[in-house]
Amino acid sequence: MCWDVAKQVLLDSNSPAEVQLFAAQTLKNRARLCRTAPLQQCQALQHDVLGVLAQRSDALPQLMKQLCLALVDLSLPAGDTLPGLISHVTGALPATTALLTLEYMAEEVGLMTHFGLGGSNEERVEALMELKARLRGCAGGVFSWLSHQAKQPGPPGHAARVLACFNAWTRLGSLQALQNQDDLQALVGLALTHLRTPESEAFEASADALSEVIDHCPEAWLSALQVCVFVCGRFRSPSGAIDDVFDP
């Protein structure tokens, strides 16, 4: 009942902002309780949240975050359906909404220490490892989509959101899923472009992106990363000195 009322409030853009935020928090809290719910129930609620996200791309950032987190919580129990969900998110939702959803998805899983409420601690840790493996299995498609987004002009803040999402998936240890050098070059190139301009809104996200890539880059991709850096051009630090991330 509370879920239906909250959904109706959120679909009404004329509802007061504080009421909408409370409704979004209600959905998020209810979704978190559903992490161990039957798959069919999760999918039905997931469909509701996707419907709200599709219609409320104009929502305030705080409200959007609650809705994206609700979708993430509902998606985690259904690990087998993650590829289809991610495909729907990137294909049917506005880019800004999709970027936030994918960022929070990787962040939430990365912060977990166990998954599930039943079983021993060892079993819950094992369930988390399986969940992370399933999510990393989707990372190749996510990186390809992020690479495409990196080449789009987008609204203000678009580059910062692309890089924040890239950072979250990189921290999850997903770089081994990169499908080709072009994806890496597009994302590293975006970071280097904004790192040249300290006043850029994406400056901090760019610095974080390069740091995360260097820390988590699989050995097999190191040579490709070097090529990307030199293809995109060496970059200057705010002090004006030339930095080369590969020189000792």
pLDDT > 90? residue 144 = yes
HEC secondary structure over 61-86: HHHHHHHHHHHHHHHCCCHHHHHHHH
Instruction: State the pLDDT at residue 150.
Output: 94
- Mean pLDDT confidence for 203-221: 85
Instruction: State the pLDDT at residue 44.
Output: 80
Show the CA angle centred on residue 183, arms to residues 215 and 138, nearest 5°.
80
Q: Is 173 exposed, middle or buried (0-12, 13-18, 19+ CB in 10 A)?
A: middle
Strand partners, 243: 235
Give whichever of 25-39, 185-199, 216-230 has the largest mean pLDDT.
185-199
- Mean pLDDT confidence for 194-218: 87
From residue 185, alpha-carbon distances to 2, 56, 100, 211 in Å are 47, 33, 22, 15
pLDDT > 60? residue 233 = no
| Portion of the chain with pLDDT greater than 90, in percent | 21
* Residue 42 contacts residue 31 (beta carbons within 8 Å): no
What DSSP string runs through 126-154? HHHHHHHHHHHHTHHHHHHHHHHHHTS--
Secondary structure of residue 109 in the 3-state scheme: helix
Instruction: State the pLDDT at residue 36.
Output: 62
Secondary structure of residue 113 in the 3-state scheme: coil
pLDDT > 90? residue 234 = no
Instruction: State the pLDDT at residue 236.
Output: 41
Instruction: State the pLDDT at residue 166.
Output: 95
Residue 236 has φ and ψ, to the nearest 5°, of -105, 140
What DSSP string runs through 196-214? T-TTSTTHHHHHHHHHHHH
> Lowest mean pLDDT: which of 28-37, 176-185, 225-234?
225-234
* Residue 69 contacts residue 104 (beta carbons within 8 Å): yes
Secondary structure of residue 59 in the 3-state scheme: coil
> Lowest mean pLDDT: which of 63-77, 112-126, 225-239?
225-239
pLDDT > 80? residue 80 = no
Residue type present at position 236 = R
Instruction: State the pLDDT at residue 28.
Output: 87
- Mean pLDDT confidence for 182-205: 87
pLDDT > 50? residue 151 = yes
pLDDT > 90? residue 159 = yes
* Residue 160 contacts residue 171 (beta carbons within 8 Å): no
> Whole-angstrom Cα distance, residue 201 to residue 21?
26
